[in-house]
């Protein structure tokens, strides 16, 4: 189905709102929301006085070779403990994510925990080394273990036997009472196996965070709604996208540059771990990094045209900069209330869902 056909179909669901562009737009205007109005609506919160969360890529080394891996394995790099001390002392993060490569391979992991002691720490791991590192991992607020779907899909991307090793690690985490979240990337390719994965996560009583594969084309409206509804029906499952929260009726935002900074394993500071936008290097004056972050936010964090008529545009600002989920966002097409969770599930279910996921995410750094 073509772009305009799709929009017409959505328009038919909610004829109160004309779908942009209408023939009148061509005559009178080219935008539903003029830029001056946008400026008023979209306030940038830019670091000033904000508490910051940090994603810290301890090292680029890894013990797996996933087929979609983006790391440059030929020139491995890692942060020194001095770099970690600078991060803690210069930026005083209020929560931290140990990221990689594979963070459990980092030789000074114990010291890393000491440096950020008193700060909730999330670990994003492939799960392979959990049995060997469990004593240290116990100090974490939460552990995110990556999978790609069910066993066959996970093993086809991550390597033979990986699924079973991850599940063994999950059992161990649960035994120790550590908050455990499966992190699964989604795309068109694995959408149909996600209901079984969601049921499994619910049965295991672990969280399941669904995050888009950034190297794949975003889901269309039908795909996003399917996923949103699936997540809402299962305990502990959520779609880690700004527009999922909007669909649930809650304001949400992408923290990159405003409330999140990330340190790459060679000491560069960027707004988000997926970004290459250079804000500075560890050791730079933190006020310069803050200024650069402000410039980043002002230059790049604007809603795209698709979102101009969404009531949540001022907070969501088209969501994740990298996943481009706005391309298939149900709210971008102004499909109206018929496509929000409140209309599908009712107030109590939605309220319960929001509260339970917020509880699960307390102190945790995700996406």
Cβ at position 300, least distance to ligand SF4 in Å: 10
Is residue 222 within 8 Å of residue 215, measured between CB atoms? Answer: no
We find the least distance from the C-beta atom of residue 114 to ligand SF4, in angstroms, to be: 27
- By CB under 6 A, the count of residues binding ligand SF4 is 25
Q: Least distance in Å: CB of 120 to ligand SF4?
A: 17
- Binding flag, residue 256, ligand SF4 (CB under 6 A): yes
DSSP 326: G
Least distance from ligand SF4 to the Cβ atom of residue 76, Å: 24
CB of 257 to ligand SF4, least distance (A): 8
How far apart CA 347 and CA 235 sit, in angstroms, is 16
Q: Is 331 in the site for ligand SF4 (CB under 6 A)?
A: yes
Q: Stretches 12-20, 58-66, 201-209, 321-329: which one binds ligand SF4 (CB under 6 A)? A: 321-329
130 binds ligand SF4 (CB under 6 A): no
Q: Which range touches ligand SF4 (CB under 6 A), out of 29-37, 75-83, 317-325, 336-344? A: 317-325
Q: For ligand SF4, give the closer residue by CB, 162 or 339.
A: 339
Considering all CA atoms of the chain, what is the largest pairwise distance in Å, rounded to the nearest integer?
A: 67
Q: Are 316 and 252 in contact (CB under 8 A)?
A: yes
Cβ closest to ligand SF4, residue 3 vs residue 75: 3
* Residue 96 interacts with ligand SF4 (CB under 6 A): yes or no: no
Query: Measuring CA to CA, how many Å separate 12 from each of 2, 3, 5, 108, 307?
Result: 15, 14, 11, 59, 19
The reply to whether 101 sits near ligand SF4 by the rule CB under 6 A is no
Q: Does 145 bind ligand SF4 (CB under 6 A)?
A: no
In the three-class reduction of DSSP (H, G, I as helix; E, B as strand; rest coil), residue 40 is classed as: helix
Which of 300, 242, 304 has the alpha carbon at shortest distance from 276?
300
Smallest separation, CB 318 to ligand SF4 (Å):
5
Q: Quote the least distance from Cβ 244 to ligand SF4, whole Å.
A: 9
Instruction: Using CB under 6 A, pick the residue from 182, 313, 361, 365 that binds ligand SF4.
Output: 313
Per-residue contact string for residues 286-305; x = within reach of ligand SF4 by CB under 6 A? -----------------x--
Cβ closer to ligand SF4: 175 or 276? Answer: 276
In the complex with ligand SF4, the residue whose CB is nearer, 154 or 243, is 243
Pick from 123, 230, 254, 364: which binds ligand SF4 (CB under 6 A)? 254
Q: For binding to ligand SF4 (CB under 6 A), which residues are involved? A: 242-243, 246, 254-256, 260, 272, 274, 303, 307, 310, 312-313, 316, 318-322, 326, 329, 331-332, 367
């Amino acid at each position: 189905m073509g772009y305009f056909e799709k929009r017409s179909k959505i328009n038919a669901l909610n004829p109160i709102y004309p779908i942009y562009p209408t023939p009148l737009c061509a005559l009178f205007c080219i935008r539903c929301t003029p830029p001056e109005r946008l400026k008023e609506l979209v306030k940038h919160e830019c670091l000033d006085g904000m508490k910051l969360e940090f994603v810290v890529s301890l090292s680029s080394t890894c013990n797996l070779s996933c087929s979609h891996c983006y790391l440059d394995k030929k020139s491995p790099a890692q942060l020194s403990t001095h770099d970690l001390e600078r991060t803690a002392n210069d930026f005083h993060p209020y929560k931290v994510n140990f990221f990689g490569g594979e963070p459990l391979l980092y030789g000074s992991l114990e010291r890393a925990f000491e440096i950020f002691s008193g700060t909730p720490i999330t670990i994003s791991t492939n799960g392979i080394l959990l049995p060997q590192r469990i004593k240290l991992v116990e100090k974490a607020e939460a552990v995110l273990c990556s999978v790609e779907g069910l066993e066959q899909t996970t093993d086809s991307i991550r390597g033979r036997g990986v699924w079973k090793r991850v599940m063994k690690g999950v059992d161990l985490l649960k035994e120790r009472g550590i908050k455990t979240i499966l992190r699964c990337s989604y795309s068109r390719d694995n959408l149909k196996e996600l209901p079984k994965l969601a049921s499994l996560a619910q049965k295991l009583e672990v969280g399941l965070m669904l995050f888009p594969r950034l190297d794949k084309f975003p889901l269309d409206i039908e795909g996003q709604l399917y996923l949103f509804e699936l997540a809402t029906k299962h305990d502990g499952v959520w779609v880690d996208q700004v527009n999922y929260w909007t669909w649930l009726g809650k304001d949400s935002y992408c923290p990159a540059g405003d409330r999140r900074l990330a340190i790459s394993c060679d000491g560069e500071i960027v707004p988000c771990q997926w970004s290459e936008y250079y804000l500075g290097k560890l050791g730079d004056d933190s006020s310069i990094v803050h200024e650069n972050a402000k410039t980043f936010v002002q230059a790049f964090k604007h809603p795209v045209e698709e979102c101009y008529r969404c009531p949540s545009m001022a907070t969501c600002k088209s969501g994740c900069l990298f996943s481009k989920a706005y391309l298939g966002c149900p709210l971008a097409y102004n499909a109206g209330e018929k496509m929000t969770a409140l209309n599908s599930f009712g107030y109590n279910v939605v309220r319960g869902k929001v509260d339970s996921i917020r509880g699960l995410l307390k102190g945790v750094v995700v996406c």
